[in-house]
Chain A
Amino acid sequence: MEEEIFVSGRMNHLIDPQLNIWHWQIPLYLFLGGMAAGILCIAALYFIRGREKDYSTAVRITPFIAPVLLILGLIALFIDLRHKLFFWQLYINIRLQSPMSWGAWVLMVITPVSFIWCALHIRDIFPNWDWKFKWVYELESFFNKYKKVLAWIMLIYGIILGIYTGILLSAFNARPLWNTSILGPLFLASGLSAGAATTLLLSKNKAERRQFARIDLILIGIELFLIIHMFMGFLASTQVQIEAAKLFLGGPYTMSFWIFVVIMGMLIPALLEFMELGKFHIPVIVPAVLVIFGSLMLRFIIVYAGQVSRWLY
């Protein structure tokens, strides 16, 4: 028998018996950030490819949700900080080796960019919008002139935003569950999937909806592929990673992961969208909401389960 105990009851609050430092604020932010990233990437991508007219909802309307998500995400992040008065230190230091520093600066860029993008399309929602100040009108025409550049910025920073949430976690090799480079692409795919689902929900154009259903299907396929590879990677790796994988294969997070994330968040929507493409009529709200829900649950479960997995004790 091997017995390993703390002789002098180490019971550091939030560290023992397992890490418990990140609560709902962080997975919520990861979800909001990912979804916003997905929305903005898709909008930028189709604009750059000149398909604005075909997918007008995706390019012009859906992005209005992004700033809201980003602001909510930033609020969640701020609430999570334990030393709030010093939050501004984030913005006078840039540390290239710290994904969190990247995140802080990327958000600094993409949040105003998303606001600007929405401002350019404000008349799609409010046809009689009046800026009231001349300098704002001048800004508007400036940005309209360089809209393509703006779109490229939005695309690149959107991808970074989407992928860094995963890289952030995977940089913590002290949590074996997160120590996989698949987490970055997985989160990006999940974010794009949620973004696509939002357009699916909001679009009134049938052709657009079909296209995005197809996009969603492809993304779900990619996600499933990544998840399977992730588990294969864990099970072929060191003892701590096998134990991390076991959290989802018989451990406490098995039910929630496979039911909420995989079945409800990926397989069922995929099936429904497949059926939709095959001429069955499915109310579009069902798969869209399920995809978004799955994306949210993925973040929650990965963040909570990751804190359970550790190297020692």
Chain B
Amino acid sequence: MTNRREFIKLSLYGAGALAVGSGSYKVIKTLSSPDEVKKLKVDLKRTPTYCEVCFWKCAGWVYKTSEGKIWKIIGNNEDQHSNGRFCPRGTGGVGMYYDEDRLKTPLIRIEERGKQVFREATWDEALEYIAEKMKDISSKSGPESMALFTHGSGSAYFTNLLKAFGSSNIAEPSYAQCRGPRDEAFLATFGEEVYSPEITDIRDTKCLVLIGSHIGENMHNGQIQEMSDAIDKGVTIITVDPRFSTAAGKSKYWLPIKPSTDIALLLAWIHEIIYNDYYDKKYVEKYCNGFDKLKEHVKDFTPEWAYGITTIPPDKIRKTAKEMSDASPAVLIHPGRHVTWYGDDTQRIRAIAILNALLGSWGRRGGFYRPASHPLPSAKIPKYPEPKKTWTDAFPGKYPIASSPVSNAIIDASIPENKPGLLIKGWIINGTNLISSIPDQANTKKAIQNLDLIVTVDTMPMEITGWADVVLPECTYLERYDMLRSSPYRKPAIALRMPAAEPKNNTRSGYNIARGLAVKLGLESYFPFEKQEELLDWQLKQSGSSLEEMQYIGVKTYEREVDDLYFAENENVVFSTDSGKIELYSKYFEDAGYDPLPNYVAHEEPPEGFYRLIYGRAPMHTFGRTSNNPNLTDLMHENLVWVNPKISKEWGLSNGQYIWLKNQDGVVSDFKIKVRITERIRWDSIYMVHGFGHGQKQLKRCFGKGASDTQLITKVLIDPLMGGTGMRSNFVTFVTEKTEKEVAS
């Protein structure tokens, strides 16, 4: 792992800022003096926030009624992420606040784990319990035996806490279960990842290529807005998907590819683009390493060869290759986001990265832009203790390319019979429902039973909370402050989240919880500010603003120091790779013992009577997080299983019929799912939206609605390079009658 890569990655990551000197950025829309700030008419009926429903973090306003009740959430017009328009989940965020099924008070388990018998406790009791257990674990096996699984705005505080405690085993499931392979592939090729929000310049692209990416069903606000702008400008969209997605419905070319064969198509495109001289010669010559090796490697990967594997006709492959090159450099082969499919995902995204490099889209308008973020000072805290062991010591030699901790590796390291080099004994889980996000539920549950301590911090009684020793209820984002948002984007900008209402019931903000626990552990010095708003005000004052100003404007955008959004003509760009150039041929992978150039490997196909389980998103929900939100269940309250008419005829299924699904390992879904007979799905696959089939009775609105795809994902194809969990090699068959009674977990 190169230091350069780590450095670049850390310096541009939003939350948890670097200590950098004051920025000399010119500020757009500045309210420079306190008098100007006071002159602004105060709109008491609205407060600024940024959305927590997904990672896009759109900034907006929470409007309240004259009685002070939260009424609606609207986008902030100055915000680059949302351009004043929130997506359905953000608009429906009010439902998160009003949901009566929310966690209300801390809970401590009194019967065996998983039976969900808790007693209510005070915060003091609960935090004391956790602190005692953590100290116990630390004394018996060292603080590095604690691990944190985290997602969302609270990550900053719990990361700080755990690092202060002495552990660096901090895993975000969004790495190994989602974007990890993509980040590593782009890091290996360009020396930089694509960030969240992705640095894709969709609005100016002339040709958008989507490999399985279902923009329009995955509701990445900025990407959908930009795709719409691009459609107005006449963009050519090429969608590669075995399913006729919404994006395919707007595409000039839809390539109905056979599932699991995408790498073959990508290699054929690379072949076409190289051997027809379609590539950006100047760009490749100036910026890329390894072109000759690449050219040799793809010599035999012709469209005819790919046709036999992918079922895409050769002339279509050629046509689309030409379209891409005609649009070059304003062409974007989208890196995707959730790319953990078949275990060779890092290599597949490498092919995508290589294709982008050949067409010269990286750093060019219509391709990928250079992001900039506004650095914020961080509070002075003592140095973190150096942990004696890290997660990499659990299974030495495994996942050598991983630059972030791998959640599933940490789960495996919690099971003694796996004989890990580091045995994890305690988990803190913040804002992620591991039961639904990690495949192979049986393994996760096994790991949990081996722990000395498991703590969950959540707003809703999701499945994972049922397994906890201590459940800590967090208030929603509408009831708290959080760190300033400072995501890398086209222009540096910061956004404030402030509470629109007091925390309901006995809930607290993540910052309060983490700090409270730190106090109990004697680590108070790592949280020098008692109130988060004091920390924010201090940070803002160091940046030429103030909390008061931000409360009025919500978003502050700065100009870039240098106008380097795209590469300048003949700019001497140095990439953060070992060679300083774009690595078409990855020596880094080669040295680690893996293919330096992507290869196509055939994957398992569904047995007779079984269909590949393909899952995806719906634009009105964020995984399983919003399944109980009253505003969003009004739009969609259950998922459907898409079945091709040929198959439904074979099985005698009718539209709207409810069935169970059984996978290749004999696991049957707990709940029934409604059949949707549609031509939009291939006959060898079925499709369902992820995030339903909740088995928690406390989630009154979504309990038992739809089926859980996670439950059926028992075969996991691990990406050996970075530990990503490939989930698309599970096959299901239909069960129309169940003999035993339905069981809820």
Chain A positions near chain B (C-beta within 8 angstroms) = 1, 3, 5, 8-9
Given contacts A1-B678, A8-B620, A8-B635, 11 further A-B contacts (CB under 8 A): A1-B645, A1-B679, A3-B678, A3-B679, A5-B676, A8-B634, A8-B636, A9-B634, A9-B635, A9-B636, A9-B637
Closest A-chain residue to B620, C-beta based?
Answer: A8
Interface size on B, residues (CB 8 A): 9
Least CB distance, A81 to chain B, in whole angstroms: 27
Which B389-424 residues have a C-beta within 8 angstroms of A? none
Complex Cα distance, B678 from A9, in Å, reads 17
Task: List the A side residues contacting B635 at CB < 8 Å.
Answer: 8-9
Task: List the B side residues contacting A3 at CB < 8 Å.
Answer: 678-679
Task: List the B side residues contacting A9 at CB < 8 Å.
Answer: 634-637
Complex Cα distance, B678 from A1, in Å, reads 8
14 A-B pairs with CB atoms under 8 Å apart are A1-B645, A1-B678, A1-B679, A3-B678, A3-B679, A5-B676, A8-B620, A8-B634, A8-B635, A8-B636, A9-B634, A9-B635, A9-B636, A9-B637
Complex Cα distance, B600 from A311, in Å, reads 52
Q: Mark B83-117, 1 if CB is under 8 A from A, else 0.
A: 00000000000000000000000000000000000
Which B647-680 residues have a C-beta within 8 angstroms of A? 676, 678-679
Least CB distance, A33 to chain B, in whole angstroms: 39
Least CB distance, B533 to chain A, in whole angstroms: 38
Closest B-chain residue to A3, C-beta based?
Answer: B678
Closest B-chain residue to A8, C-beta based?
Answer: B635
Complex Cα distance, B678 from A8, in Å, reads 17
Complex Cα distance, B678 from A5, in Å, reads 11
Q: Mark B349-380, 1 if CB is under 8 A from A, else 0.
A: 00000000000000000000000000000000
Least CB distance, A18 to chain B, in whole angstroms: 14
Complex Cα distance, B636 from A282, in Å, reads 61
Least CB distance, B644 to chain A, in whole angstroms: 10
Query: Which of A1, A5, A8 has most chain B Cβ within 10 Å?
Result: A8
Closest A-chain residue to B634, C-beta based?
Answer: A9
Task: List the B side residues contacting A1 at CB < 8 Å.
Answer: 645, 678-679
Least CB distance, A2 to chain B, in whole angstroms: 9
Task: List the A side residues contacting B636 at CB < 8 Å.
Answer: 8-9
Give the 3 A-B residue pairs with the shortest CB-CB distance, closest first: A8-B635, A1-B679, A3-B678
Complex Cα distance, B636 from A8, in Å, reads 6
Task: List the A side residues contacting B679 at CB < 8 Å.
Answer: 1, 3
Task: List the A side residues contacting B637 at CB < 8 Å.
Answer: 9
Complex Cα distance, B637 from A1, in Å, reads 26
Complex Cα distance, B677 from A1, in Å, reads 10
Least CB distance, B682 to chain A, in whole angstroms: 15
Closest B-chain residue to A5, C-beta based?
Answer: B676
Least CB distance, B580 to chain A, in whole angstroms: 49
Complex Cα distance, B678 from A3, in Å, reads 7
Complex Cα distance, B636 from A5, in Å, reads 13
Task: List the A side residues contacting B678 at CB < 8 Å.
Answer: 1, 3
Complex Cα distance, B32 from A3, in Å, reads 57
Task: List the A side residues contacting B620 at CB < 8 Å.
Answer: 8
Complex Cα distance, B674 from A9, in Å, reads 13
Complex Cα distance, B637 from A9, in Å, reads 8
Least CB distance, B189 to chain A, in whole angstroms: 37
Task: List the B side residues contacting A8 at CB < 8 Å.
Answer: 620, 634-636
Complex Cα distance, B618 from A9, in Å, reads 13
Complex Cα distance, B637 from A290, in Å, reads 48
Least CB distance, B256 to chain A, in whole angstroms: 16
Least CB distance, B653 to chain A, in whole angstroms: 14
Complex Cα distance, B309 from A117, in Å, reads 90
Complex Cα distance, B88 from A8, in Å, reads 11
Least CB distance, B627 to chain A, in whole angstroms: 14
Task: List the B side residues contacting A5 at CB < 8 Å.
Answer: 676
Least CB distance, A137 to chain B, in whole angstroms: 63
Complex Cα distance, B33 from A75, in Å, reads 71
Least CB distance, A1 to chain B, in whole angstroms: 5
Least CB distance, B83 to chain A, in whole angstroms: 23
Least CB distance, B708 to chain A, in whole angstroms: 19
Least CB distance, A269 to chain B, in whole angstroms: 41
Least CB distance, B382 to chain A, in whole angstroms: 52
Task: List the A side residues contacting B634 at CB < 8 Å.
Answer: 8-9
Complex Cα distance, B645 from A241, in Å, reads 28
Complex Cα distance, B631 from A8, in Å, reads 11
Task: List the A side residues contacting B676 at CB < 8 Å.
Answer: 5
Complex Cα distance, B677 from A3, in Å, reads 9
Complex Cα distance, B645 from A3, in Å, reads 11
Complex Cα distance, B634 from A197, in Å, reads 51
Least CB distance, B705 to chain A, in whole angstroms: 11
Complex Cα distance, B620 from A196, in Å, reads 60
Closest A-chain residue to B655, C-beta based?
Answer: A3
Least CB distance, B616 to chain A, in whole angstroms: 14
Which B621-648 residues have a C-beta within 8 angstroms of A? 634-637, 645
Complex Cα distance, B681 from A1, in Å, reads 13
